[in-house]
A and B are shown apart, each in its own frame.
Chain A
Amino acid sequence: MAALSELKSIAAEGNKLLAQREQNIARAHMGGVPWFAVAWGLGNFAIWLSLWPLVIFSIVPVWAAFPIATLNVILCYLPSHEAQHDIIGRKGTKWRWLNELVGHVSTIPLVLPYRAAKLTHLEHHKHTNDPERDPDYSMRANGPWHMIWVSLKNRQPGSNRGLRGYRDALIKIGRPDVVVDGLIYQFVFYGILCALAWAGFGIEALLLWWLPRHIGTAYIQFFLSWAPHHPAVETGRYRNTRYWRSAVGNIASMGMQYHIVHHLHPSIPLTRTPAAYRELRPILEARGCRLEDH
């Protein structure tokens, strides 16, 4: 009995040491303003915005602007994601205004209100892979092609899953006021599309915003919601997401190969997660994390 108690005590001590080492490594990768994310978020939005006059005044052909706009939408979420975790500027610090600016502005091409994105994303972190409480759980799918189909189905008008399920998630956490943000964004988005179409710029509206938004939504959901959590059956700090090798590489999968680092330490900026992962790897192995190199 005494031996068992001693073993438990040793295990607890080992656990504590491991946690301390993990915290020390993580802390070394936190702090400072991630200026790259700031420039990315605001610059990406500026490029997308500049496409409109360039196309409308026939300086750039719409067929050439379409892939740029699609790339802009794909790239617009992550800077806001940094802001959602207060990485650019915490409350009460001098860069807080910049944090909120990047958070609000960068996802405009995606028509995703910052407050709704932030609250639902934090719920995702708290309840990852919980069928009842994870707002992103409905992005679960059997494989890559099925995921694209799920993403499309979740966006249909009668669906209450995916982004359309955020309404219920916000009500559940007692923030129905933020649902209004989504309604206003949708109203303005479709209002602008219709106005442009009746003004003779329907193809431009279609190829600079409507279609890029659909492609971008699928891409973001694929690499941020589905791939890092697949098959999304386990909960718990060290098992609810994974390190994985993307067939398209880390940049094209938007840094999400190292999503496990983000879930464990959300205050580490995206660009520092690969380095943090390399240092944390022995600890993650000891914790039994899902480190899928193949």
Chain B
Amino acid sequence: MLIAVLKTGFQLGPLLFGLLFIPPVTAQILTVLDWTPPLGMTPLLAGFLLGGIWGVYAQWRGSWLTWRP
């Protein structure tokens, strides 16, 4: 059971990283830089947008950087 959970987590790694790590880090960086996101977004929402899109891309393509893994 535990191994199955770990394997699933590993398989969804990019998506989880994009939604669980990138948003709060982005929000913290934006706050430190005193930079306001456009369209009235909060720093955390901007982080979710960035992490969500990038995470979905990495999950889909198998790479954060390139079209092919």
Q: Do A and B come from one complex?
A: yes
Contact residues of A with B, CB < 8 Å?
152-153, 156-159, 180, 183-184, 186-187, 190, 193-194, 197-198, 200, 202-203, 205-206
CB-CB under 8 A from A157, the residues of chain B are 13-14, 58-59, 62-64, 69
Main secondary structure of the interface of B (DSSP, over half): helix
CB-CB under 8 A from A197, the residues of chain B are 20-21, 24-25, 28
Q: Which of B6, B24, B64, B66 contacts A184 (CB 8 A)?
A: B6
Q: Say yes or no: B63 contacts A153, CB within 8 Å.
A: yes
Bound-complex Cα distance A193 to B59 (A): 19
| With contact pairs A180-B6, A183-B3 given, residues A190 and B64 touching in the complex (Cβ less than 8 Å) | no
Tell me the total A-B contact number using a CB cutoff of 8 A.
70
Main secondary structure of the interface of A (DSSP, over half): helix
B65 at the binding interface (Cβ < 8 Å): yes
CB-CB under 8 A from A194, the residues of chain B are 20-21
Q: Mark B36-66, 1 if CB is under 8 A from A, else 0.
A: 0000000000000000000000110111111
> How many residues on chain B are close to A (CB under 8 Å)?
26
Kindly report which residue of chain B lies nearest to residue A164, judged by CB atoms.
B69
Bound-complex Cα distance A221 to B30 (A): 33
Q: Which of A158, A184, A203 contacts B32 (CB 8 A)?
A: A203
Q: Say yes or no: A193 contacts B21, CB within 8 Å.
A: yes
Kindly report which residue of chain A lies nearest to residue B9, judged by CB atoms.
A187
CB-CB under 8 A from B7, the residues of chain A are 183
CB-CB under 8 A from A186, the residues of chain B are 6, 10, 13
CB-CB under 8 A from B28, the residues of chain A are 197, 200, 202-203
Bound-complex Cα distance A186 to B21 (A): 14
Bound-complex Cα distance A140 to B9 (A): 30
CB-CB under 8 A from B24, the residues of chain A are 197-198, 200, 202
B13 to A: closest C-beta gap in Å: 6
Q: Which of A159, A180, A190, A205 contacts B3 (CB 8 A)?
A: A180
CB-CB under 8 A from A156, the residues of chain B are 58, 62-66, 69
Give 16 A-B contacts (CB < 8 Å), ordered by A residue: A153-B66, A156-B63, A156-B65, A156-B66, A157-B14, A157-B63, A158-B69, A180-B6, A183-B7, A183-B10, A186-B10, A187-B9, A190-B20, A194-B20, A202-B21, A202-B29
CB-CB under 8 A from A184, the residues of chain B are 6
Kindly report which residue of chain B lies nearest to residue A202, judged by CB atoms.
B25
Give 14 new A-B contacts, CB below 8 A, not counting A187-B10, A202-B29. Answer: A156-B65, A156-B66, A157-B13, A157-B58, A157-B64, A158-B61, A158-B62, A186-B6, A197-B24, A198-B24, A202-B21, A203-B28, A205-B25, A206-B25
A17 to B: closest C-beta gap in Å: 52
Bound-complex Cα distance A198 to B28 (A): 10
CB-CB under 8 A from B13, the residues of chain A are 157, 186, 190
CB-CB under 8 A from B10, the residues of chain A are 183, 186-187
